[in-house]
Amino acid sequence: MLQFINFTKRYGTYPALKIDDLSLETGIYWIKGVNGSGKSTLLKSIAGILAFDGDILLDDSNISIKKQPVVYRKLVNFAEAEPIFPEFLTGTEMIALFADAKDAPAGQEQQYIKSMQMQSYVDKPIGTYSSGMLKKLSLLLAFLGQPKIILLDEPLITIDAASLAILNTWIRERYEQEGTGFLLSSHQVLEDGSLPVSRELLVEDQTLKFIS
Ligand SMILES: Nc1ncnc2c1ncn2[C@@H]1O[C@H](COP(=O)(O)OP(=O)(O)OP(=O)(O)O)[C@@H](O)[C@H]1O
């Protein structure tokens, strides 16, 4: 689903992350690593938010983030660890913006709003949301459209156990029914079965490696 070619991300002169050549088959990957190891740097680079040297390709279609940035970004969705959205917009307005940008099928968001029980606040300004409500909105936005890959940075932060179980079903359904690949990151230990995971990756010593 993803191929790194001579990937290097530097902050100034600091080489934060280097991945010479790595291919990830379609799957659900859990990215581990201690604080400051480079998990967010990795996900933001794949999402096209951070500039880097080298290239990243969507494997099956050979779409390059550098050569076809617009097509690539429609196919790769990202939810930030600590999302920040304009406080004066409502959740519904944010959803409409993302749905338009991602060419989402009409009404696609409805099933997610209902299952995550967001009906009571989705029409209110985001400035009134708790951190958990905000996190759920950002997770929902990452599921809009028909991405080939969904990147979720620290999806466990601030959401309660019931919401985590629902997120689990969203991930399973998209993976099993549409073949969407996932990269999920956390510095926390993942409890068995709390999220479906096919392989684990570790960010350590400024690079990315398989650990299972
Ligand atoms: N904008 C920046 N400028 C300079 N250095 C940065 C910047 N962003 C991150 N870094 C450095 O890059 C390294 C990786 O940071 P990153 O945020 O990717 O880690 P992380 O694994 O996501 O951490 P955490 O688990 O604490 O969220 C750290 O050493 C950090 O200090």
- Distance, CA of 6 to CA of 56 (rounded, Å): 9
What interface predicted TM-score (ipTM) does this complex get? 0.98
Provide the 3-class DSSP secondary structure of residue 10. strand
The Cα–Cα gap between 17 and 167 comes to: 29
Tell me the C-alpha distance between 89 and 98, whole Å.
13
Give the number of domains in the chain: 1
Predicted TM-score (pTM) of this structure: 0.96
Tell me the C-alpha distance between 23 and 183, whole Å.
13
Question: How much distance in Å is there from the Cα of 177 to the middle of ligand 1?
Answer: 34
pLDDT 10s digits, 72-97: 999 999 999 999 999 999 999 999 99
33 lines ligand 1 (CB under 6 A): yes
pLDDT value, residue 189? 67
83: domain range? Answer: 2-210
Task: Decide if pLDDT at 190 tops 80.
Answer: no
CA–centroid distance, 122 to ligand 1, in Å, is: 32
Which runs of consecutive H residues, i.e. helices, occur in the chain? 39-47, 69-75, 91-101, 108-115, 131-142, 161-178
User: Residues with Cβ < 8 Å from 35, sequence gap 6 or more?
Assistant: 187
CATH number at residue 198: 3.40.50.300
Q: Ligand 1 pocket check: which of 41, 52, 157 to mutate, most ligand atoms within 8 Å of Cβ?
A: 41
Atom of ligand 1 nearest to the CA of 44: 18
Check pLDDT > 90 for residue 23.
yes
Tokens of 35: 């604080």
188 Cβ closer than 6 Å to some ligand 1 atom: no
Q: How far is CA 44 from the centre of its chain?
A: 9
Listed range (101-110, 149-158, 173-182, 189-198) with the worst mean pLDDT: 189-198
Asked if residues 190 and 200 have their Cβ atoms less than 8 Å apart, the reply is no
- Answer yes or no: are the C-beta atoms of 41 and 16 closer than 8 Å: yes
Which H helix or E strand runs over 147?
none
- Which residues 6+ apart lie within 8 Å of 95 measured at CB? 109, 113, 122, 137, 140, 141, 144
Best residue for ligand 1 mutational test, from 18, 35, 37 (most atoms within 8 Å of Cβ): 37
60-70 tens-digit pLDDT = 778 999 999 99
